[in-house]
Amino acid sequence: METLADYLRARRTLVEPIDVGLPAGSRQRRVAGLRREEVAMLAGISSDYYLRLEQGRELHPSLPVLNGLALALRLDQAAVAHLHRLARPYLGERRQLDDTVSVSVRTLVEQMPAIPAYVLNRYLDILYVNALGRALSADFRPGNNLAKLVFFATSIHDKTWRATARRTAAYLRSSVDPTDDGPEITSLLENLHAGGAEFTEIWSRHETLSAWGTPTTFSHPEVGPIELRYQTFDLPATGGQMLGMFVPAPGGPSAECLQMLMLFTRDPANTEGVPITPRNTGTTPPQVAALYRRSMSKNQQHLDSAGTTWTSA
């Protein structure tokens, strides 16, 4: 369970004096980031009151105080929302975790054949994936957890990996109720902490992030790199389930890559009409064109054996 005091102490260390127009001073600072009295001055409150906040002796500061703290700590929109959740925790009964994906939600996901999509619970467990999502990544399978996929990955932990790891940890913190100390989140965090010091260091930053068009790149073995924007939507009355989608830029090479993956994953036995042909934008990667030709050959073999003519557009 996370407290307001934990959050303020962690976020204070991430702000340098120069970031808020304060002189660094000639003496070396004993701690990273801002001093308590500097945060108090920037937030427009007394040093004693801010000390009580960091010590957990004051739990519910007023809205003007929260706004001042957000400015002093340079919090973005997601971080401000998290600050308010900590200061105004939900006191009602928490809805029980239910990993059952309703028929209507499954139908919604399957009705987006051109967009890789999945359903997550609030702990980032994958509950359901559509066909294009499965084709995009072998990791996107029900039962996998996004945080574990990242932090337990055997790939090289370079700058790109760290950026992805920080985003994933921030997604997790944003999606979980900060007062949640149930067995699910407790077990997940224990496993992630036990997996290595990298998660512990990143988690201690108390970063939050909402997936509002976050750039994400996949290196697909068939079609090469695919650049997409990651977007999530809360699903009401589901106990915290979210719809995650990977959206390409319209008309670009990544859109064509997804078009080819969609075509290649279609079941020819259930396909009617004219197959999809890639748009001639002049940017189609060679590997995508090769995949298209291979999928056309596969479909033609099936349709020939069924005595049906397959016509390209």
The CATH number of the domain holding residue 55 is 1.10.260.40
Domain check: are 243 and 261 in the same one?
no
Q: Determine, yes or no, domain membership for 79.
A: yes
Domain check: are 57 and 117 in the same one?
no
Q: Determine, yes or no, domain membership for 49.
A: yes
Name residues whose C-beta falls within 8 Å of residue 206's C-beta, 6 or more positions apart in sequence.
2, 6, 7, 10, 11, 173
Phi, psi (rounded to 5 degrees) for 71: -70, -45
The confidence band for 48, taking pLDDT boundaries of 50, 70 and 90, is very high
Which has more confidence, 212 or 278?
212
Choose among 76, 95, 88: nearest CA to 206. Answer: 76
Which amino acid, one-letter code, is at 96? Q
Residue 46 near residue 25, CB atoms below 8 Å: no
Q: How many CA atoms lie within 13 A of 107 on its CB side?
A: 3
Rounded to an integer, what distance in angstroms lies between the CA atom of residue 268 and that of residue 271? 5
Per-residue pLDDT, averaged over 192-216, amounts to 92
Domain check: are 202 and 142 in the same one?
yes
What CATH number should be reported for the domain holding residue 218?
3.30.450.180
Domain check: are 17 and 75 in the same one?
yes
Per-residue pLDDT, averaged over 217-226, amounts to 88
According to the model, what pLDDT value does residue 283 have? Answer: 52
Rounded to an integer, what distance in angstroms lies between the CA atom of residue 242 and that of residue 127? 10
Domain check: are 133 and 196 in the same one?
yes
CA 281 to chain centre: 31
Q: pTM of the prediction?
A: 0.81
Which has more confidence, 263 or 281?
263
User: Does position 203 have pLDDT exceeding 90, yes or no?
Assistant: yes
Encode pLDDT of 244-262 as tens digits. 999 999 988 999 999 988 8
Encode pLDDT of 121-168 as tens digits. 999 999 999 999 999 999 999 999 999 999 998 888 899 899 999 999
Question: Tokens at residue 107, please?
Answer: 């139908």
According to the model, what pLDDT value does residue 300 have? Answer: 41
Domain check: are 115 and 240 in the same one?
yes
Domain check: are 237 and 273 in the same one?
no
User: Does position 274 have pLDDT exceeding 60, yes or no?
Assistant: no
User: Does position 298 have pLDDT exceeding 80, yes or no?
Assistant: no
Domain check: are 183 and 279 in the same one?
no
Q: Determine, yes or no, domain membership for 281.
A: yes
Rounded to an integer, what distance in angstroms lies between the CA atom of residue 88 and that of residue 167? 25
Q: Determine, yes or no, domain membership for 233.
A: yes
Domain check: are 243 and 257 in the same one?
no
Q: Determine, yes or no, domain membership for 187.
A: yes
258: domain range? 253-305
Domain check: are 83 and 180 in the same one?
no
What are residue 294's DSSP bridge partners?
none
